[in-house]
């Protein structure tokens, strides 16, 4: 999907930071894509990049098996910025020398005092000294002919070098990482001042380009989408509906494991869209399948399989479709290794997977090039309500993995009410850094006293975490007054709960969800 003519190409050599480079380029207002370093030269030319960025990576350029690039890239007349491994590769390819850092000085890792030549093209907009983020085992010992050294640190004589005649620039540190104090400014200088980008990429024009391209792809065909009510599938549905209207059928399988009122909200929104909207009320079916099951992975498996079965059954009624729409977003594309040399870090545990028996010709992924916050922005642009686009992550198996042990309709109802109170209070109190928050119904019962009577009821756990990537997390420091109010409301308003606890464990060693 094309988003205007101005595009930056990021060639990926396996750095864990390559998504961040793409984020920054888009923050500057330029569309970009991350592609594997092995992208064929003629593909690169037909991509037509305004500028090319070579990412970092874990290899050593002098290692025979390390990833290399077609040297013709340096004769395209396109500005190139090399970052870390990309800088070393540029030096190596153009006749410089790269050696293990130990042989020069110390290896550098982390925040590093760096000095810049502010008379250089790349560093013209920054101060002469600032902190950069270094992470390298190799260093450039000799820069190629035509280059000039423009930055150094204690351990790195060539922390930056440039050849302004040919428009090649290189930095040993990572400007894309926030710890590099002037990193954003450096990237901006490269893209705007040097490469001459106009930086007019915006969600409004992305939306229009996406709609046009979906229209021309789908033509008179029919498309089918499994709507879960989460941010991604909802935005995909809204976008597709603006593009192709009734040629799109949305199937919403309500497994009865969503939070309070969510199923009805999904129906309320999408039944007014000019699409064919089908809600399958499968609550009973899922509860039957889950009856007596308490092992978390078993629950996930049942829900995943059943979800596909129900969806397939619905799809069969519709018959042959041309396209199956998926809400895949850009981090999934990069992380699943399609565009990357990096190790797979996150295992995806989404409900679903691909249905085997749905009759379709092709998959269409309208959000494939967007980051999560861009998906939310697109959702707003498409007029979806704020509560939907700003929704926190919610696991596919839903409340099934938040009712510890076996699941019953009654337990789900209790959890739904308590969870709703907790979420409302966190939102009302505007607790900062609360990135995911929910209630968990434990299967522990304890003794309490209410009025004059003894009670023997469930313990409810509250979970609220602060995190950026959900791979590590800390518990959120919720003010005591807020916790007190939540606890008070829950035990008074929700039957069968007489005790509320707050989970104060980090991830690791715990996980975000209890199951
Ligand atoms: P954990 O519990 O692994 O959660 O620390 C990390 C993030 O992943 C979400 N999560 C899931 N999402 N299906 C999903 O779609 C699942 O089975 C699942 N399990 C956990 C969790 O909510 C958190 O955001």
pLDDT digits (tens, 9 = 90+) for 223-248: 999 999 999 999 999 999 999 999 99
The Cα–Cα gap between 42 and 431 comes to: 51
| CA-to-CA separations, 394 to 228, 388, 405, in angstroms, rounded | 10, 12, 19
- On the question of pLDDT at 349 being above 90, the answer is no
441 and 375 in a common domain: no
Are 207 and 90 in a shared domain? no
> From ligand 1's centre to the CA of 393, what distance in Å?
8
Shared domain check, 382 and 233:
yes
* SS3 letters across 464-487: EEECCCCCCEEECCCCHHHHHHHH
Query: Containing domain of residue 61, as a range?
Result: 7-194
- What is the CB neighbour count within 10 angstroms for residue 272? 9
Domain annotation covers residue 87:
yes
Residue 129 shares a structural domain with residue 208: no
Domain boundary among 144, 171, 194: 194
Closest residue by CA, ligand 1 atom 12: 395
130 inside domain: yes
Ligand 1 neighbourhood includes 503 CB (under 6 angstroms): no
What are the start-end ranges of the E strands in 164-211? 168-171
Q: What is the mean pLDDT of residues 266-292?
A: 96
Rounded to the nearest angstrom, the distance between the alpha carbon of 464 and the centre of ligand 1 is 13
Which of 138, 160, 194 finishes a domain? Answer: 194
In this structure, the residue with its CA closest to atom 7 of ligand 1 is 470
SS3 127: coil
Rounded distance from Cα 101 to ligand 1 centre (Å): 40
**Ligand 1 nearest atom to the CA of residue 514, by list position:** 2
Please check whether residues 219 and 285 belong to one and the same domain.
Answer: yes
Q: Is the CB of 349 under 6 A from ligand 1?
A: yes
**What CATH number does the domain containing 180 carry?**
3.40.50.880
Nearest protein CA to atom 3 of ligand 1, as residue: 511
Query: d(Cα 185, Cα 175) in Å, to the nearest integer?
Result: 9
Say yes or no: 423 and 360 in one domain.
Answer: no
Q: Which one of 395, 438, 464, 514 would you pick to mutate in the ligand 1 pocket, going by the greatest count of ligand atoms within 8 A of its CB?
A: 395
Distance 319 CA to ligand 1 centre (A): 33
Q: Calculate helix-pair angle for 203-218, 231-244, nearest 10 degrees.
A: 60
Q: What is the mean pLDDT of residues 282-299?
A: 96
**Has residue 509 been placed in a domain?**
no
- Give catalytic residue positions: 84, 174, 176
Mean pLDDT over residues 73-79, rounded? 97
Is the pLDDT at 353 greater than 80, yes or no? no
- Whether 300 lines ligand 1, by a CB cut-off of 6 Å, is yes
133 and 271 assigned to the same domain: no
11 and 159 co-located in one domain: yes
Query: Is 2 part of any domain?
Result: no
Q: What is the per-residue burial (b if ≥16 Cβ within 10 Å, else e) of 314-333?
A: bbeeeeebbbbbbbbbbbbb
**Taking residues 284-308, what's their average pLDDT?**
94
* Rounded CA separation 24/178 (Å): 10
- Residue at 507 is within a domain: no
Q: Best-predicted range by mean pLDDT among 10-19, 28-37, 82-91?
A: 82-91
Q: Is residue 125 part of a domain?
A: yes
CATH classification at residue 496: 3.30.300.10
Could you tell me if 243 and 370 lie in one domain?
yes
**Closest atom, ligand 1, to C-alpha of 511:** 5
* Per-residue confidence (pLDDT) for residue 109, from 0 to 100: 82
Question: On the CB side of 85, how many CA atoms lie within 13 Å of its CA?
Answer: 24
- Residue 44 in this model has a pLDDT that exceeds 70: yes
- Check: CB of residue 252 under 8 Å from CB of residue 277: yes
* Total domains in the fold of the chain: 3
Q: How many CB atoms lie within 10 A of CB 378?
A: 23
Euclidean distance between CA atoms 429 and 481, whole angstroms: 10
Residue 436 Cβ inside 6 Å of ligand 1? The answer reads yes
Residues 316 and 358 in one domain: yes
Higher per-residue confidence, 353 vs 500: 500
Residues 153 and 190 in one domain: yes
Same domain, 339 and 287: yes
The verdict on residue 466 lying in a domain is yes
Domain annotation covers residue 401: no
Task: Indicate the residue among 194, 217, 236 that finishes a domain.
Answer: 194
């Amino acid at each position: 999907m094309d988003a205007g003519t101005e595009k930056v190409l990021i060639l990926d050599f396996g750095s864990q930071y390559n998504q961040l480079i793409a984020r920054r380029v888009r923050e500057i207002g330029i569309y970009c894509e991350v592609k594997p370093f092995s992208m064929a030269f003629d593909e690169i030319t037909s991509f037509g990049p305004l500028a090319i960025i070579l990412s970092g990576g874990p290899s050593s350029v002098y290692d025979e098996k390390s990833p290399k690039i077609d040297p013709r890239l340096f004769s395209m007349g396109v500005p190139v910025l090399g970052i870390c491994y990309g800088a070393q590769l540029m030096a190596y390819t153009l006749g410089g020398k790269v050696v293990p850092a130990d042989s020069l000085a110390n290896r550098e890792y982390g925040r590093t005092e760096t000095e810049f030549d502010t008379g250089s093209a790349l560093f013209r907009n920054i101060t002469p000294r600032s902190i950069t983020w270094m992470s390298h085992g190799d260093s450039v010992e000799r820069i190629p002919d035509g280059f000039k050294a423009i930055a150094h640190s204690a351990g790195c004589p060539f922390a930056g070098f440039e050849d302004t005649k040919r428009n090649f620039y290189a930095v040993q540190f990572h400007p894309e990482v926030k710890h590099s104090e002037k990193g954003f400014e450096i990237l901006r200088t490269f893209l705007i001042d040097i490469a001459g980008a106009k930086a007019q990429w915006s969600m409004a024009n992305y939306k229009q380009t996406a709609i046009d391209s979906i229209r021309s792809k789908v033509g008179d065909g029919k498309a089918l989408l499994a709507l879960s009510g989460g941010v991604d599938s909802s935005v995909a549905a809204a976008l597709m509906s603006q593009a192709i209207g009734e040629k799109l059928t949305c199937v919403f399988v309500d497994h009865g494991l969503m939070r309070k009122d969510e199923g009805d909200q999904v129906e309320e929104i999408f039944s007014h869209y000019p699409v064919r909207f089908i809600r399958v009320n499968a609550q009973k079916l899922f509860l039957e399948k889950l009856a007596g099951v308490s092992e978390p992975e078993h629950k996930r498996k049942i829900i995943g399989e059943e979800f596909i079965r129900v969806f397939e059954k619905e799809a069969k009624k519709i018959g042959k479709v041309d396209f199956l729409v998926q809400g895949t977003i850009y981090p999934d594309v990069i992380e699943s290794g399609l565009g990357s040399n990096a190790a797979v870090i996150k295992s995806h545990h989404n409900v679903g997977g691909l249905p085997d028996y749905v009759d379709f010709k092709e998959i269409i992924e309208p959000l494939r090039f967007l980051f999560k916050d861009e998906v939310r922005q697109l959702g707003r642009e498409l007029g979806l309500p704020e509560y939907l686009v700003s929704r926190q992550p919610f696991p596919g198996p839903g409340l099934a993995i938040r009712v510890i042990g076996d699941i019953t309709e009654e337990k789900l109802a209790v959890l739904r009410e308590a969870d709703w109170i907790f979420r409302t209070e966190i939102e009302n109190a505007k607790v900062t850094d609360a990135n995911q928050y929910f209630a968990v119904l434990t299967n522990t019962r304890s003794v309490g006293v209410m009025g004059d009577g003894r009670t023997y009821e469930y313990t409810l756990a509250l979970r609220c975490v602060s995190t950026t990537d959900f791979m590590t997390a800390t518990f959120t420091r919720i003010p005591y007054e807020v916790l007190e109010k939540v606890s008070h409301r829950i035990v008074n308003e929700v039957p069968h709960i007489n005790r509320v606890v707050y989970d104060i464990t980090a991830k690791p060693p715990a996980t975000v969800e209890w199951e």
